[in-house]
Structure 1
Amino acid sequence: MMEILEEVELCFPQLLNSSCKKPMRTHFEIILSYIILSSITLLTTTLNLLVIISISHFKQLYTPTNLLLLSLAVSDFFVGLLMVFQIMLIDGCWFLGDLMCTLYYLLDYIISAASVGSIVLISIDRYVAICDPLHYSTKVTEKRVQVCVCLCWICSVIFQILVLRDNFKQPGRYNSCSGECVVVSDYIAGLVDLVVSFIGPVTVIIVLYMRVFVVAVSQARAMHSHIAAVTLQGSVKVTAKKSEMKAARTLGVVVVVFLICLCPYYSVALTDNLLNPVSAAFVICLYYFNSCLNPLIYAFFYPWFRKCLKLVVTLQILQPGSSESNIL
């Protein structure tokens, strides 16, 4: 008898036939989903907030590369906040209305596009630093990076509004029942979005990092063969090169993790495959988990981030002059 009641449990019982039915899930599945998504949300928002505070507070970290990391951390932080809505959807019902549903998807798409754009800018930054180091300081300035980051976010907003414009004319027009949260873009807009938000950026990222990898390997061999004969001035140059290559390696890990986490999600969209609920949940969790992994990568590879973490957690950043602290 209980199974029969669960099968016909509605999102809005008072609406009867027009209400969506809640999917059949065991209490264990629901609780596990809540625990996993809540943990990812808490970790993602907390860790990325620490990255944002660190780069914003300490003046030594005001570099073009770190400004790009700041943009990525901001997008990842908002991904964490938006996961609260994903937690609300665990029981299969949307209770916040059709307009809020459309706004949720719009924000989600904007943040995802800005995140992809930030990864592309990071790849370009590392490409110039490794492949054209002599002109890096003149080509990549803080002002230019700030402009590029602003353009990235502005273009993401405008583009995604255009993609979802039909959904704002009549919010909820594509819902098959009350309690559903669905947005739909026409075929051309969806195809353009896929190319602009995934295929194009991923192609650029892979090509640039392949080039960076080849140059980095050749530079490493050159440094190894001449390491014994360098002067003091040469040692400084070698150290600088090693620093740039370490940054490239670290950000390369960020890029690889990004591709691993996002490719399954976009592959499903590209092939238009319908997944079973377990597979769909895994793909979505992997997509969101990427935003949690980036700060963990910084903590593992960047000593300055670990030092900042200690200063922030112990509230030493509240002391006068703490922004001038030597953390590099």
Structure 2
Amino acid sequence: MTGFLVKRFLQALVVLLLVSIIVFVLLHLLPGGPARAILGPKGTAQQIARFNELQGYNKSLPLQYFDYLGRLFHGDLGLSYKLNQPVSDLLAERLPKTLVLTALATLLAVVVAVPLGLLQAVRRGKISDYLLTAGAFLAYATPVFFLGLILIIVFSQTIPIFPSEAPQGETVAGIFSGFSGMVLPIVTLALGIIAMFSRYMRSATLDNLTEEYVRTAMAKGQSSRRILARHVLRNAIIPLVTLLGLYLPTLFSGALVVESMFNYPGMGLLFWNAAQGSDFPVLLGVTLVVGVATVLGSLLTDIVYAVLDPRIRSVS
């Protein structure tokens, strides 16, 4: 197990290094360079030269990259030229709120999708299986923004149960103080995940129901419910563990749309506003954080995968 963890950790470090290189290259691929992109078309040659000198962009690229790494290790992601605040402070303020939104949406998706997938597998070919499959395909194929619009029209305007705007608290506690405003964003983000997870769960359950250990358990007289709960569920849920770790970029893209629709003060809304205002330090800072989160999520997935299935450790 130790060798497996060390190997995966070293691989994660290499990928993190590659992520930092990609973000660094993106910064230098901005039209006209970082100085022109930030100062705009009216920036004079003297202003650009002075900016490059102050920011260290007049050095060679290798030296710039090592300076960039040094700033990253100290938590310096640059300065937002639109908000006049350090990017690290903006992310520290917004990231917990996005984590709360995505975590609650994912938790809701797993709690709903796992029983749905099991039910579809057990009742394969029945009318309930067809109805749930059709609903899953419809939810998965519908864009997130359209799902959000439908929920707003139905549950905020036609039947005014929930507000159409998310709570605007500055802290996570402030967000929870107006939790009714969180219902529609969470459900909007969770619907597409439920559709995909339930399909994976159905497929994995059907595969496991044909295994020898299921027939052996049935031959021993165990009930179908006991076999599903104690044997099939643990093996069928392994693909979902992998999916959860690799689904982080998709979750963020969904959160970006949901946060902009419901005016939720998270990292997705920060990214959207930065894109609207060409605030490149914020855009690159968010990109770096999402890349790091994806790598760490993949590493965590490998660890949980190995715990659930010891065979993975023996072949890795």
TM-score by length of 2: 0.31
TM-score by length of 1: 0.30
